[in-house]
């Protein structure tokens, strides 16, 4: 309670933020003075970039280097104005995004459709949607966040879609350069250099990025390098672009610890030989063309060829990774290797026409995706401590106990129509049909014969949705609307769920895909007066998630199946208040003081329990239990002040306690794999200054009060046990733009 009261007190001091991509110009007629203010968050309510967003929950976050810690991909700060986003902060490197919403799983953001510049960045969006690659935020100009109701436009997922949009060009000059250098705590070094420009009908943008750190824990060093290049050609009525991105990183995995060490020695590590490596390559061709003012087409084709590799000692935390006296060395490690090859294409057509006195909007699209994963697992690695993926054949002569080929073909058609009825009311019905084929073949010691012939599962999925919006008020200085929507969702069983994770685990051959729906009702708008705008978006939501997949014991062996149905409901609220020139009213320089609050109250609960053996035993049933990693409260609030190049930013974040298993175990078990995680609050602060148009400096502190906390437990990768989050870190950044 004291934390929440403290945050409310902070709100009395704050308001909304502003950024570089959206510039608001305010003029004073008496002296013809024009001041510009940077807007940090937008709430489109009709169409946006050939997508219908009317009646849906969608926002655009514009990035500003002086307001966010871009150097470490700090997602707690990136999504601070997005209510309901839960950030799993177990990995301080920022190499992977692990976020969720409305009680869904945060595991590598697999309940979201994750995109970069409009195309997918997951290895297999339908069969293996875990995101091993996340763009460096230094290169991102804005992030588009579509919540669950947007599923029809981007896929069947429950969470929605997040798109990281890169900068297209730095300036309209033939050549421009941007460079930033950051140093910080725990050996952090971040370097980013970008070039871009415009020459007649050609424009280009590219960057080189490198980041490395020792990590705040023992055995947690990492290094990442990213390269990107894009060339665009401006047509008379459109544009075509080609781009290539290359990302690679190596991360040492410190593994888990016991709960007793969290507050005394959170930097402890019991694993010194665990490593993780990713090599990610994507080539994309994109384009758009306008037949006329009301008829447009947009397309992309993307190819991903990538690898994900790991080597380590992943036994239970109670088994120490020490010298084996019988071998005279460490025990051999386990090696797992994935090779990904994915091709995806999407085309979208938008048509606007007059019906009566109103302009109607229709979108139609098609998508094709073909992916193949070669999965090599449980190889017998060497006994060394460095990153070494070499393996030794087992007694049968095989290098890997599992050698599998996983394939997915997906064809989808989708359409939505925005019907405007009069000047205030609109309806948007839509549908999505998907034809999905999953194939699995290969060799594994989990199969009775050791060999699995090609197994194929075909599905035809038809989903529908409806959103509506009513404009309560729309004037030059005030815009206020009500919105509501409901959309069916679907999530296929993933490959990682179809395959046993151990030799003792049994997978239910009758396991079914996850079905359900998301719905929202809310109000949003902008009120503008001479002091500044008030921006708000407040809604309630209801999500049904049928057939959640999990594991329970049957005959003392783990059994993976659909364990039950989940209902998640609650309220999300975002309010931001900005003041133009509050202290220096007569100054010719733009001054901005703003305060924001973004909060969520939610209840994610199991409503059915599918274990027939204990369904009637109230001491074992999970019916009525809280869903794992679904905090009941998430609150973020902060202030921002900008004047004459000076910038000050403060953010407060509170996340409620979570359970880490479906049974809602409170006390940690002997291996620290289950047990409740306590609530925590974090304070971030930064100060920046623009010396002129070319030079900027910033210093900041994340987790200013050095809160000790954890957001995840692990039963396997990246090492069993409790995974502590990073303590206080300080950083400094210099930015040069030429």
**pLDDT for 261:** 95
pLDDT at 11 over 70: no
Question: Which residues, 6 or more positions from 594, have their beta carbon under 8 angstroms from its beta carbon?
Answer: 14, 15, 16, 17, 18, 532, 576, 577, 578, 579, 639, 640, 641
- Residue 354: is it exposed, middle or buried by C-beta count within 10 angstroms (0-12/13-18/19+)? exposed
- Between these two residues, 500 and 321, which has the higher pLDDT value? 321
pLDDT at 272 over 60: yes
C-alpha to C-alpha distance for 643 and 415, rounded to whole angstroms? 46
Q: What is the DSSP string of 117-152?
A: TTEE-SSBTTTB--------GGGEEEEEEE-GGGHH
C-alpha to C-alpha distance for 304 and 714, rounded to whole angstroms? 29
Q: What is the DSSP string of 626-669?
A: BPTT--SEEEEEEEEEEETTEEEEEEEEEE--B-SSTT---S--
Q: What is the pairing mode between strands 51-52 and 400-421? A: unpaired
**pLDDT for 27:** 56
The residue ranges of DSSP E strands in 137-221, in sequence order, are: 140-146, 160-166, 176-184, 188-199, 202-213
Beta bridge partners of 651: 638, 684
Q: Which two tokens stand for residue 645?
A: 């190049």
Whether the Cβ atoms of residue 676 and residue 657 lie closer than 8 Å to each other: yes
Phi and psi of 68, rounded to 5°? -130, 155
**pLDDT for 46:** 86
Kindly state the average pLDDT of the residues 302-323.
92
pLDDT at 22 over 70: no
The pLDDT tens digits of the residues spanning 364-390 come to: 999 999 999 999 999 999 999 999 999
Give me the chain's average pLDDT, please: 89
**pLDDT for 452:** 78
Whether the Cβ atoms of residue 102 and residue 602 lie closer than 8 Å to each other: yes
Q: What is the DSSP string of 249-284?
A: EEEE----B-GGGTTT-TT--S-SS-EEEEEEEEEE
Whether the Cβ atoms of residue 92 and residue 215 lie closer than 8 Å to each other: yes
Q: Which two tokens stand for residue 654?
A: 């509170």
For residue 347, CA distances in Å to 363, 386, 417 come to 11, 45, 17
Torsion angle of alpha carbons 577, 583, 587, 590, nearest 10°? -30
**pLDDT for 451:** 82
Phi and psi of 151, rounded to 5°? -55, -35
CATH classification of the domain holding 526 = 2.40.170.20
Element (H, E) at 2: helix 2-11
Kindly state the average pLDDT of the residues 628-639.
96
Kindly state the average pLDDT of the residues 582-592.
84
**pLDDT for 474:** 84
pLDDT at 31 over 60: no
Phi and psi of 385, rounded to 5°? -115, -10
Kindly state the average pLDDT of the residues 704-717.
90
pLDDT at 12 over 50: no
For residue 243, CA distances in Å to 21, 153, 205, 207, 237 come to 22, 23, 9, 12, 21
pLDDT at 351 over 90: yes
Beta bridge partners of 475: 478
Confidence band for 327, pLDDT divided at 50, 70 and 90 = confident
pLDDT at 3 over 60: no
User: What percent of the chain is predicted at pLDDT more than 90?
Assistant: 68
**pLDDT for 172:** 86
Overall domain count for the chain = 1
Question: Which residues, 6 or more positions from 98, have their beta carbon under 8 angstroms from its beta carbon?
Answer: 87, 88, 90, 91, 106, 107, 108, 109, 712
Kindly state the average pLDDT of the residues 579-606.
90
Confidence band for 6, pLDDT divided at 50, 70 and 90 = very low
**Among 135-139, 219-223, 458-462, 668-672, which is the least confidently predicted range?**
668-672
- Between these two residues, 530 and 634, which has the higher pLDDT value? 634
Kindly state the average pLDDT of the residues 281-291.
96
pLDDT at 16 over 50: no
**pLDDT for 484:** 96
**pLDDT for 510:** 84
The pLDDT tens digits of the residues spanning 108-124 come to: 899 999 999 999 999 99
pLDDT at 619 over 70: no
Residue 543: domain span = 2-737
Q: Which two tokens stand for residue 357?
A: 């006195």
Q: Report the Cα 254 to chain-centroid distance in Å.
A: 23
Question: Which residues, 6 or more positions from 240, have their beta carbon under 8 angstroms from its beta carbon?
Answer: 232, 233, 285, 286, 287
**pLDDT for 121:** 92
pLDDT at 25 over 80: no
**pLDDT for 496:** 80
3-state secondary structure of 487: strand
């Amino acid at each position: 309670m004291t934390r929440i009261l403290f945050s409310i007190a902070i709100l009395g001091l704050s308001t909304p933020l502003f950024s570089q991509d959206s510039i608001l110009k305010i003029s004073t007629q008496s002296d013809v003075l024009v001041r510009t203010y940077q807007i940090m968050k937008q709430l489109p309510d009709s169409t946006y970039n050939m997508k219908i967003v009317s009646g849906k929950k969608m926002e655009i976050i514009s990035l500003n280097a002086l307001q966010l810690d871009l150097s470490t991909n700090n997602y707690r700060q990136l999504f601070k104005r997005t209510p309901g986003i839960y950030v799993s902060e177990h990995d301080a490197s920022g190499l992977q995004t692990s976020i969720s919403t409305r009680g869904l799983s945060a595991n590598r953001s697999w309940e979201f459709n994750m995109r970069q510049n409009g195309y997918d960045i997951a290895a297999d969006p339908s069969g293996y949607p875990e995101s091993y690659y996340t763009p460096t935020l230094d290169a991102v100009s804005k992030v588009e966040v579509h919540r669950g109701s947007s599923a029809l436009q981007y896929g069947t997922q429950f969470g929605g879609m997040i798109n990281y949009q890169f900068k297209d060009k730095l300036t309209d000059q033939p050549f421009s350069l941007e460079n930033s250098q950051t140093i910080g705590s725990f050996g952090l070094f971040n370097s980013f250099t970008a070039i871009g420009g415009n020459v007649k009908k050609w424009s280009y943008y590219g960057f080189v990025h490198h980041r490395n750190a020792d990590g705040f824990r023992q055995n947690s060093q990492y290094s990442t390098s990213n390269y990107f290049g894009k060339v665009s050609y401006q047509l008379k009525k459109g544009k075509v672009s080609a781009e290539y991105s290359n990302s690679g990183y190596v991360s040492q995995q410190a593994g888990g610890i016991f709960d007793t060490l969290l507050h005394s020695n959170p930097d402890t590590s019991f694993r010194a030989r665990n490593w993780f490596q990713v090599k990610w390559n994507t080539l994309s061709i994109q384009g758009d063309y306008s037949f006329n003012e009301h008829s447009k087409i947009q397309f992309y084709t993307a190819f991903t060829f990538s690898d994900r590799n790991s080597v380590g000692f992943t036994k239970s935390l109670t088994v120490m990774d020490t010298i084996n006296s019988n071998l005279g060395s460490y025990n051999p490690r386990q090696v797992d290797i994935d090779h990904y090859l994915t091709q995806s294409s999407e085309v979208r057509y938008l048509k606007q026409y007059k019906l009566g006195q109103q302009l109607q909007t229709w979108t139609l699209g098609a998508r094709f995706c073909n992916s193949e994963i070669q999965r090599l697992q449980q190889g017998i690695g060497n006994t060394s401590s460095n990153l070494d993926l070499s393996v030794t054949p087992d007694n049968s002569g095989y290098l890997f106990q599992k050698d599998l080929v996983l394939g997915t073909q997906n064809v989808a058609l989708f359409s939505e129509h925005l019907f405007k009825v009069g000047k205030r009311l609109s309806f948007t019905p839509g549908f999505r049909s998907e034809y999905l084929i999953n194939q699995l073949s290969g060799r594994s010691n989990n199969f009775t014969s050791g060999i699995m012939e090609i197994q194929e599962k075909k599905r035809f999925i038809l989903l529908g949705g409806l959103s509506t919006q009513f404009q309560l008020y729309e004037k030059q200085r005030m815009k206020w609307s009500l919105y509501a929507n409901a959309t069916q969702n679907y999530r296929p069983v993933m490959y990682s769920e179809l395959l046993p994770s151990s030799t003792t685990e049994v997978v239910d051959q009758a396991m079914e895909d996850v079905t359900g729906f998301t719905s929202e009702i809310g109000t949003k708008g902008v009120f503008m007066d001479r002091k500044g705008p008030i921006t708000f978006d407040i809604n309630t939501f209801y999500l049904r998630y049928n057939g959640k997949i999990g594991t329970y014991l049957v005959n003392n062996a783990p059994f993976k199946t659909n364990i039950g149905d989940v209902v998640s409901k609650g309220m999300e609220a975002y309010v931001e208040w900005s003041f133009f020139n509050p202290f220096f009213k007569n100054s010719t320089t733009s001054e901005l003081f703003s305060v924001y609050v973004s909060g969520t109250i939610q209840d994610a609960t199991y409503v059915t329990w599918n274990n027939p053996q204990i369904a009637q035993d109230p001491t074992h049933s999970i019916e009525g239990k809280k869903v794992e990693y679904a905090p009941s409260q998430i609150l973020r609030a902060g202030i921002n002040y900008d004047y004459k190049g000076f910038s000050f930013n403060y953010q407060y974040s509170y996340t409620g306690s979570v359970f880490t298993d479906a049974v809602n175990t409170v006390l940690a078990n002997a291996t620290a794999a289950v047990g409740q995680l306590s609530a925590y609050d974090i304070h971030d602060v930064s100060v920046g200054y623009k010396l002129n148009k070319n030079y900027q400096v910033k210093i900041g502190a994340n987790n200013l009060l050095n809160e000790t906390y954890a957001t995840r437990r692990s039963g396997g990768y990246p090492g069993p046990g409790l995974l502590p989050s990073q303590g206080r870190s300080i950083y400094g950044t210099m930015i040069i733009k030429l």
